[in-house]
Chains A and B, each alone.
Chain A
Amino acid sequence: MQHRLLNWFRYSSPATFYPLAGRIAQVSWLVAIVLIGVGLYMSFFVAPTDYKQGDGYRIIFVHVPASWMSMFLYLVMAGWSAIGLVFNTRLSHMMSQALAPTGAMFAFVSLWTGAFWGKPMWGTWWVWDARITSELILLFLYLGYMALLGAIDDRRRADRAGAILLLVGVINIPIIYFSVKWWNTLHQGATVKMSGETSMDETMLWTMLIMSVGFWAYSIATAMMRVRSIMLEREHDTQWVRNLIGAKA
């Protein structure tokens, strides 16, 4: 047991994590490309046409996984921030920083695809509905986090300030997730449920799940690539970076 614990902490140092992150990124890219490719093929050609919504519903195969990821990545960032604040580790904050742009991108994609879906289905690009508004707030929270990190020159202060902001903003996640239950506005309730029957065709469900896993892999891949750059940038005057660059040059 002791041995395994030590192994985990081994990778909390940027020097040892750097090569591992590279390998994880490679594998994740492969998984992401394959799964998103398969998922897109299934969502366009295999999944049946919806009897009420026609072919327009197919955008949910991007919309729903993107919304899930936008919320989930925020939680992951908040988790890393909490770890970083409690254990005072450098790498955790780097992980939060690396995840932020991907999370913001997914929040934006979720809103954008939602608008494309809303136009033919609801007849409008945008509604001030509880869930849509809170997803927009989530996008603002991501942007605020990135702006705060950018505005503070001192890295240590930036990390910790960003972490506090993330933990304060985490209140918004349950609000988004349960908003369709709490406020009965235009956005429909969840079709995919953890418990009980999912009111959805099986092929559709599988397509959505494949896309979700693909988006997961994509998020991991981009985060790992970004965290590698951040590590090099922040640790540029350490010996391991010099060795790394020296070995390549």
Chain B
Amino acid sequence: MFETLVSVIRRDVTVALRRRTDIFITLVFFVIVVSLFPLGIGPELETLRLIAPGVVWVGALLASMLALEQLFLADHRDGSLEQMLLAPQPLSLLVIGKVIAHWLITGLPLVVIAPLLGLQYALSGEALAVMIWSLLLGTPTLSLLGAIAAALTLGLRSGGVLVALLVLPLYIPVLIFGAGAVEATTSGLGGDAHLYMLGAILLLSILATPLATAAALRVSTE
């Protein structure tokens, strides 16, 4: 069972590493979105420090949403998705593997680059650390929840916009607690409670979303 999981992850990561532009598009999009805000709002560091958690989190949210369409599309086109549906291994396990790979490709780079963007917003070292933790706990949840929407809209004409409409309402709690953790740290309250909440949401998502995604894939491909 564990071998299957590892092989799915290895396969998806290898495929993605051979087409590196896809990874960079997400990352560059994130950097550009976050850099746009100071241009629109003005360079006062006090204001920027206030809005930094929200801006970084909204940027990460939009970037990971953009990448969702890629999650099942290539496999759907070349038919390997149907082979996965027929495989003797449980589909939800394969889904977890694909989501983990997807997060490694699109989520992890966001987490790595985020402190750099935080520095642009004059965040303190402590707040930066909490931001990394919150993104580390939050972005996998985004990928897990997004997988449901990606599976539901697989192969539809207006897929991209529809994914946004379906998935953004589900992202809101993650956004609130993720940005809230950084905010609580900068205001001196400590972000632990928010981080615990993000961890709890992540655990629940790991349990529940692969089943929903698997069901959605079966509906979309029949």
Binding site for B on A (CB under 8 A): 133, 137, 140-141, 143-144, 147-148, 151-152, 157, 160-161, 164-165, 167-169, 172, 175
Contact = CB atoms under 8 A, between A and B. Distances in A.
Given A140-B165, A140-B168, A165-B152, 11 more contacts: A133-B172, A143-B165, A144-B166, A147-B162, A147-B165, A147-B166, A148-B152, A148-B153, A164-B215, A165-B166, A168-B170
Contacts of B220: 157, 161
Nearest to B148: A168
A151 to B, nearest CB: 5
Contacts of A172: 169
A130 to B, nearest CB: 9
Of the listed residues B148, B168, B216, the one surrounded by the most CB atoms of chain A closer than 10 A to its CB is: B216
Nearest to B218: A160
B174 to A, nearest CB: 12
Interface in B182-222: 209, 212, 215-216, 219-220, 222
A164 B219 contact: yes
Determine the main DSSP class of B at the interface with A.
helix
Contacts of A140: 165, 168-169
B95 to A, nearest CB: 13
B216 A164 contact: yes
Contacts of B148: 164-165, 168
Is the interface on chain B under 10, 10 to 19, 20 to 34, or 35 or more residues? 20 to 34
B21 interface: no
B19 interface: no
9 contacts: A143-B165, A144-B166, A144-B169, A151-B153, A151-B162, A161-B152, A164-B148, A164-B216, A168-B148
Interface string B141-164: 000000010001100111000100
A148 B154 CA distance: 11
Nearest to B216: A164
Interface of B: 148, 152-153, 156-158, 162, 165-166, 168-170, 172-173, 209, 212, 215-216, 219-220, 222
Given A140-B168, A165-B152, A151 B212 contact: no
Contact of A169 (B169, B215, B219): B169
Contacts of A160: 219
Contacts of A133: 172
Determine the main DSSP class of A at the interface with B.
helix
Contacts of B212: 164, 167-168
Query: Nearest 4 A-B pairs (CB), nearest first?
Result: A140-B169, A160-B219, A144-B166, A137-B169
A137 B166 CA distance: 11
Contact of A152 (B156, B166, B172): B156
A160 B220 CA distance: 9
A94 B156 CA distance: 21
Nearest to B176: A133
A110 B172 CA distance: 20
Given A141-B169, A143-B165, A157 B222 contact: yes
B169 A161 contact: no
Contacts of A143: 165
A152 B215 CA distance: 17
A137 B173 CA distance: 10
Nearest to B204: A171
Contacts of B170: 168-169
Nearest to B169: A140
Contacts of A144: 165-166, 169
A157 B219 CA distance: 6
Of the listed residues A164, A167, A175, the one surrounded by the most CB atoms of chain B closer than 10 A to its CB is: A164
B214 to A, nearest CB: 10
Contacts of B152: 148, 161, 164-165
B146 to A, nearest CB: 12
Contacts of A164: 148, 152, 212, 215-216, 219
B118 to A, nearest CB: 23
Given A157-B222, A164-B215, A151 B168 contact: no
B158 A151 contact: yes
A147 B167 CA distance: 12
B219 A161 contact: yes
Of the listed residues A141, A144, A167, the one surrounded by the most CB atoms of chain B closer than 10 A to its CB is: A144
Of the listed residues A141, A147, A167, A168, the one surrounded by the most CB atoms of chain B closer than 10 A to its CB is: A168
